[in-house]
């Protein structure tokens, strides 16, 4: 949200402070236009005009008793400066490696001594603005290989032969000077922490374990706090599909013993037990959290109050990170209020009480239905939740059984646990209701959250008419998740979805002994997962497992166990063997019940029924995060009748006009 939605950002951080976190930090804050991170939308302290927005953030954090931390940073050779059009700077002249793209047609120029003095001046100036705004901690950000101090520290990026290059003592000089400059600027009003990477997992060539330890020794007494993590960002924030809780813990063994200053570290620690353990083992003094506090801003309060079973644990899907890459407000699969604190007035723990005694029937106990029932129940409404299966959770249960997605079951488990505590929610399992039975329930309002099913005809982004398939078995993701398997060995999987499911299913089939050709019209498999920083890990795993990746062709037809592929650019065709076909294309809303009820609308009054509303995948298929959000949204906006879908209000921030020239 950053500089574009500063009030929304401040309110969101205030909610985190309310949840009991001791320190609430900003995202990286740009110190100067020659470091702006377009297209990422970050906070800025370029000049005094940015102070009022920072004041708002600090004040709302302080309102709930937390300390406010400002993470200043200059990203040197990791920014394109597309907004400011300034030339990026760094320790040497190289093409930039921006967070959002490794191939921007921009190069950084080598800094001379005057440039270094200038950049050093920018940081204490921004630190003074942060102090003026009321921040208690002002960071020197030096992590993930994105920041300019990292780039000077890196043996790979720094080839200088002056006193800022060569030996570690020289390469650490800029970082040391920046810490000293900022401490001199803010005095004893603010703490000055430094954020450091304990390992370079991107190339392994920037610094090694021994050099990191030597680096800490060289600056051991300078910062007021050490904040450790891994480089680069995609390794530090790996998803649960590719890394367990605390996956970077081995790199925390040792650094704390090299300094007398307090140490904090992150590692997607989602459970309070794991957090306590790393403190007791002497790895850290303080536990840092990003994704776990996004999933549950009130985690500390719940620990303090002994309500551990109420903690909403992060599932490690990194849908939160996608907000950076899509330039949209942050969101969370587990916490649908994240990013909606200001613009919709939602809170992760509180919700307004009911305004009537209307009874609501929710049909379908997938992620949308569970969240809808839970939130309506929290408001105090009498709710009936009906599920066709004996097992609650819908698509979450089925997808959590796929390789690497086990942590996703927390979406179901948290909501079922909360629902079980509410006597005003009746739960009907193994009940497939038809339209007549729905009207007999006696509910005034019906929510259809029956989900979706994958198409079997190949219609999707590429094809608007069915793909011709003759004689070859066709399976969908639903078939595979329900236990069906292809009888042949050679499988063609056509992924026209481009998110995670195609790659996961290819992995599943290879593990079960099949040979898989993954066909995608994109330039890479699961291309949308670049927004969750997973694509490189997915592609590596598929290649290591022997999946044949066929990028850029479309699946045109299948006949006599041969699939015909056509290049989307040249139109050239090739044929590959296909004992079976798996189609991962589009989905169809399971809205038959909603349709049948609307056909019977003339009978509603006699049954006391006022509204029928399809939500989430039963309306238009999307992500699990969207399904949970839609469930919460119905409950939030319900007042004895839902708000029409296309008339829902959205509070937004508007920029102030600059003086006309």
Q: 210 or 648: whose pLDDT is higher?
A: 210
What pLDDT is attached to residue 654? 85
pLDDT at residue 200 greater than cutoff 90: no
pLDDT at residue 275 greater than cutoff 90: yes
User: What's the pTM value of the predicted model, to 2 decimals?
Assistant: 0.95
What pLDDT is attached to residue 648? 66
E-strand ranges in 400-495 read 425-428, 445-448, 452-454, 468-470, 474-475, 490-495
**Mean pLDDT score across all residues of the chain:** 94
What is the CB neighbour count within 10 angstroms for residue 351? 19
Residue-wise pLDDT tens digits, 101-158: 667 898 999 999 999 999 999 999 999 999 999 999 999 988 767 889 989 998 888 9
pLDDT band at 640 (very low <50, low <70, confident <90, very high): low
All structural domains of the chain: 6-326 (3.20.20.70), 360-451+590-647 (3.40.50.720), 459-587 (3.50.50.60)
What pLDDT is attached to residue 657? 83
**Angle, vertex CA 61, rays to CA 60 and CA 64, nearest 5:** 90
What pLDDT is attached to residue 651? 82
Which residue intervals of 528-587 are DSSP H helices? Answer: 535-544
Residue-wise pLDDT tens digits, 63-75: 999 999 999 999 9
Of 44-53, 194-203, 474-483, least confident by mean pLDDT is 194-203
What pLDDT is attached to residue 645? 62
Q: How far apart are CA 444 and CA 439, in angstroms?
A: 9
Residue-wise pLDDT tens digits, 1-48: 999 999 999 999 999 999 999 999 999 999 999 989 988 899 999 999
C-alpha 50, offset from chain centre: 27
Q: 145 or 195: whose pLDDT is higher?
A: 195
The mean pLDDT value for 296-300 works out to 97
Distance of CA 643 to CAs 352, 452, 611, 634, 647, Å? 16, 23, 11, 8, 7
Residue-wise pLDDT tens digits, 213-259: 899 999 999 999 999 988 778 888 899 999 999 888 888 888 899 99
Hey, is 203 helix, strand or coil? coil
pLDDT at residue 469 greater than cutoff 90: yes
* Consecutive H or E run containing 228: strand 225-231
| Percent of the chain's residues with pLDDT above 70 | 97
């Amino acid at each position: 949200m950053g500089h574009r939605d500063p009030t929304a950002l401040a309110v969101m951080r205030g909610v985190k402070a309310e949840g009991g976190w001791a320190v609430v930090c900003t995202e990286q804050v740009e110190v100067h236009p020659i470091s702006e991170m377009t297209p990422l939308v970050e906070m800025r302290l370029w000049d005094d005009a940015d102070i009022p927005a920072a004041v708002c953030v600090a004040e709302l954090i302080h309102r709930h008793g937390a300390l406010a931390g400002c993470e200043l940073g200059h990203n040197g050779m990791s920014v394109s400066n597309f907004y400011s059009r300034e030339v990026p700077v760094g320790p040497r002249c190289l093409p930039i490696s921006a967070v959002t793209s490794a191939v921007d047609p921009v190069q950084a120029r080598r800094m001379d001594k005057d440039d270094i003095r200038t950049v050093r001046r920018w940081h204490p100036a921004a630190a003074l603005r942060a102090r003026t705004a009321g921040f208690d901690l002002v960071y020197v950000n030096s992590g993930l290989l994105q920041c300019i101090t990292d780039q000077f520290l890196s043996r790979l990026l720094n080839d200088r032969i002056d006193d800022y290059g060569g030996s570690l003592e020289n390469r650490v000089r800029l970082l040391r000077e920046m810490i000293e400059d900022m401490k001199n600027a803010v005095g004893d009003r603010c703490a000055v922490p430094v954020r450091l990477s304990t390992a370079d997992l991107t190339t392994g060539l920037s610094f090694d374990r021994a050099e990191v330890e030597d680096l800490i020794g060289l600056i051991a007494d300078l910062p007021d706090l050490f904040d450790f993590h891994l480089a680069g960002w995609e390794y530090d924030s790996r998803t649960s599909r590719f890394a367990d809780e605390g996956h970077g813990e081995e790199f925390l063994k040792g650094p704390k013993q090299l300094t007398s200053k307090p140490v904090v570290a992150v590692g997607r620690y989602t459970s309070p037990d794991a957090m306590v353990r790393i403190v007791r083992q002497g790895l850290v003094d303080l536990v840092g959290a990003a994704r776990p506090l996004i999933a549950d801003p009130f985690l500390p309060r719940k620990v303090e109050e002994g309500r551990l079973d109420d903690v909403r644990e992060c599932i490690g899907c990194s849908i939160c990170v996608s907000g950076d890459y899509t330039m949209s407000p942050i969101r969370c699969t587990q916490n649908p209020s994240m990013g909606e604190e200001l613009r919709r007035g939602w809170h992760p723990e509180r919700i307004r009480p009911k305004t009537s005694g209307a009874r609501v029937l929710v049909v379908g106990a997938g992620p949308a239905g569970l969240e809808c029932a839970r939130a309506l129940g929290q408001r105090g409404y009498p709710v009936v939740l009906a599920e066709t299966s004996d097992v609650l959770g819908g698509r979450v249960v089925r997808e959590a059984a796929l390789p690497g997605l086990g942590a996703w079951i927390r979406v179901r488990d948290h909501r079922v646990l909360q629902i079980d505590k509410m006597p005003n929610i009746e739960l009907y399992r193994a009940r497939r209701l038809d339209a007549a039975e729905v009207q007999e329930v006696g509910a005034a309002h019906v929510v259809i959250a029956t989900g979706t099913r994958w198409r079997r005809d190949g219609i999707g982004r590429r094809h608007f008419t069915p793909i011709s398939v003759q004689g070859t078995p066709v399976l969908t993701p639903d078939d595979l998740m329900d236990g069906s398997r292809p009888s042949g060995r050679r499988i063609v999987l056509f992924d026209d979805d481009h998110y995670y499911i195609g790659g996961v299913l290819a992995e599943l089939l290879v593990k079960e002994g099949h040979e898989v050709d993954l066909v995608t019209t994109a330039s890479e498999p699961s291309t949308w997962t670049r927004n969750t920083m997973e694509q490189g890990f997915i592609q590596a795993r598929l290649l290591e497992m022997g999946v044949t990746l066929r990028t850029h062709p479309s699946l045109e037809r299948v006949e006599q166990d041969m699939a015909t592929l056509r290049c989307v650019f040249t139109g050239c065709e090739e044929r590959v063997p296909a004992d079976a076909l798996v189609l991962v294309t589009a989905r169809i809303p399971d809205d038959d019940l909603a349709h049948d009820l609307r056909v019977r609308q003339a009978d509603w009054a006699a049954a006391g029924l006022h509204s029928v509303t399809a939500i989430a995948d039963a309306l238009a298929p999307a992500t699990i995060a969207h399904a949970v959000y839609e469930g919460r949204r119905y409950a939030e906006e319900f007042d004895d009748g839902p708000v029409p879908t296309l008339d829902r209000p959205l509070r937004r921030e508007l920029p102030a006009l600059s003086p006309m020239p």
